[in-house]
């Protein structure tokens, strides 16, 4: 059950340093508010203390609403570590609200996930895989851990990538990364099935890039695929282009490797 806020700074901003706080900006005269608030209260009761629920009467606290850019109600904002990280306006279904909350709540296993990522950077994939599997056993909805586990599978057993990613929906924040991994697992598996590739002077370099991808060395993989792209862009049905695009999507366009190699990729693609 939520409570009506009287001191926003203390009850929301400061409290969200310890636990996420979901804030419902509402007013007694607002019909949609009266429909939404009970849904939020039910979800808060079932949250088992993983987040808190607070209500702000827009009529009684107009300055608070204005400060947080609430121009229409009902408005819901999620506060984490003192800041509003995301929100929505209007009535949503219980399923949509629950999805919104799960997408934005910090995982209780964030430290373990960072540890697994550190192991992956050191190419210690079996250890990282064990750590990530433990996270998913405790928190099956942790899509970030699932994507990381699929990355490990690319090195350990590419055939397991698709199965690992199967629970991730198209609405997940990591759906694009999951799609990139589904594309890349084919390239990672090529070193076990090199006979499926046509003969060409670029074939050894192509396989070298695939081997680098499988080992988690994305820099070497990009260098190899870009080299093939510059020499024979149509090899393996434009595979070098597809592989580079998927690596960029997996890493994110702001990743240092994406920024470093994207210009060379574009030059090779259009040369």
Q: What is the mean pLDDT of residues 38-53?
A: 84
Is the overall model pTM greater than 0.75, yes or no? Answer: no
How confident is the model at residue 15, as a pLDDT? 87
pLDDT band for position 238 (cuts 50, 70, 90): very high
User: Model confidence over 202-223: pLDDT tens digits?
Assistant: 999 999 999 999 999 999 999 9
CA distances from 46 to 8, 40, 144 (A): 24, 10, 24
Q: How many residues does the chain have?
A: 271
Residues 113-168: tens digit of each pLDDT: 999 999 999 999 999 999 999 999 988 888 899 999 999 999 999 999 999 999 99
pLDDT of residue 110: 81
Domain 3-104 grouped into CATH 1.10.150.310: no
Q: Please state the separation of Cα 156 from the chain's center in Å.
A: 22
- 181 class by beta-carbon count within 10 Å (0-12 exposed, 13-18 middle, 19+ buried): buried
- Mean pLDDT is lowest, of 5-9, 99-103, 222-226, for 99-103
Among candidate residues 33, 152, 153, 185, the one labeled active-site is 33
pLDDT tier, 2 (very low <50, low <70, confident <90, very high otherwise): low
Angstrom distance (rounded) from CA 27 to CA 251: 44
Residues 173-188, mean pLDDT to the nearest whole number: 94
Name the strand (E) or helix (H) holding 83: strand 83-89
Longest Cα–Cα distance in the chain? 75
The Cα 63–Cα 250 span in angstroms is: 42
Rounded average pLDDT over 159-184:
93
The pLDDT score that the predictor gives to residue 46 is 81
| pLDDT computed for residue 236 by the predictor | 96
Element (H, E) at 24: strand 21-26
Of 3-12, 189-198, 244-253, where does mean pLDDT reach its minimum? 3-12
Q: Is the pLDDT of residue 70 over 60?
A: yes
Kindly indicate the confidence band of residue 105, based on its pLDDT and cuts at 50, 70 and 90: confident
pLDDT at residue 178 above 80?
yes
The domain segmentation of the chain, as residue ranges, is 3-104, 107-173, 181-271
- pLDDT at position 1 over 60: no
Is 131 part of the annotated catalytic residue set? no
pLDDT of 186 reads: 95
> Residue 261 above 70 pLDDT?
yes
**CATH 1.10.10 applies to domain 107-173:** no
Residue pair 184/246 in contact by the 8 Å Cβ criterion: yes
């Amino acid at each position: 059950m939520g409570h009506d806020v009287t001191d926003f700074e203390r009850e929301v901003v400061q409290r969200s340093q310890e636990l996420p706080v979901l804030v419902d900006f509402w007013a007694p005269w607002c019909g949609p508010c009266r429909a939404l608030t009970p849904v939020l209260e039910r979800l808060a009761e079932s949250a088992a203390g993983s987040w808190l629920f607070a209500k702000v009467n827009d009529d009684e606290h107009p300055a608070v609403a204005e400060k947080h850019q609430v121009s229409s109600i009902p408005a819901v904002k999620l506060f984490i570590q003192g800041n509003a990280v995301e929100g929505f306006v209007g009535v949503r279904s219980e399923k949509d609200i629950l999805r919104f909350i799960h997408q934005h709540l910090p995982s209780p296993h964030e430290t373990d996930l960072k540890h697994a990522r550190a192991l992956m950077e050191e190419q210690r994939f079996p250890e990282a895989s064990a750590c990530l599997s433990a996270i998913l056993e405790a928190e099956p909805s942790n899509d970030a851990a699932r994507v990381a586990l699929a990355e490990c599978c690319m090195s350990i057993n590419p055939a397991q990538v698709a199965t690992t990613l199967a629970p991730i929906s198209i609405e997940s924040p990591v759906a694009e990364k999951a799609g990139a991994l589904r594309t890349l697992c084919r390239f990672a598996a090529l070193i076990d099935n090199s006979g499926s590739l046509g003969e060409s002077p670029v074939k050894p370099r192509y396989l070298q890039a695939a081997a680098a991808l499988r080992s988690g060395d994305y820099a070497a993989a990009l260098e190899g695929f870009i080299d093939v792209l510059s020499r024979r862009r149509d090899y393996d049905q434009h595979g070098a282009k597809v592989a580079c695009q998927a690596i960029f999507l997996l890493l994110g366009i702001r990743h240092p490797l994406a920024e470093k190699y994207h210009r060379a990729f574009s030059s090779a693609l259009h040369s």
